[in-house]
Amino acid sequence: MEHQLAIGGLLVSGFSTVMGIVSLAILCFEVFALIDAAIRREDAYRAADKQTKPFWLIILAVAAALNFTPLGVMFSILGLVAAIVYVVDVRPKLRQVSPKRGKRNDHVGPYGPW
């Protein structure tokens, strides 16, 4: 009987550790999406024909903050879905309409490079 309790306790402990790691990974992903949304220019959201920058900042900040509340798994999943939508749909469009970083060409005239 004690052996079964020890195995059951070990399984619960292992599951708890795995869920802790998954929760931390989800939080990191949501914080990444929030930081990425914060550094993008406001006009890029309009040019990409997506929701406004404040909209995404609020959604992603709430998604990250919900990880620290005991509201349940459902809200964590909703926050994860919001971050996935931003990273998979919005971020590529913003990168497409934003100027490339680090690529500077001083030899550009009114009709192209020279």
Write the DSSP assignment of 54-100 as a string of letters.
HHHHHHHHHHHHGGGS-S-HHHHHHHHHHHHHIIIIIHHHHHHHSPP
- Which amino acid, residue 57? L
Average pLDDT over residues 69-75: 75
Per-residue confidence at 104, pLDDT binned at 50, 70, 90? low
Range with the poorest average pLDDT among 7-11, 55-59, 87-91, 107-111: 7-11
Instruction: Give the per-residue pLDDT at 68.
Output: 82
**Model confidence over 10-68: pLDDT tens digits?**
666 766 788 788 888 999 999 999 999 999 999 999 999 999 999 999 999 999 998 88
Residues 63/83, Cβ–Cβ less than 8 Å: yes
Say yes or no to pLDDT of 83 above 60.
Answer: yes
3-state SS assignment for residue 112: strand
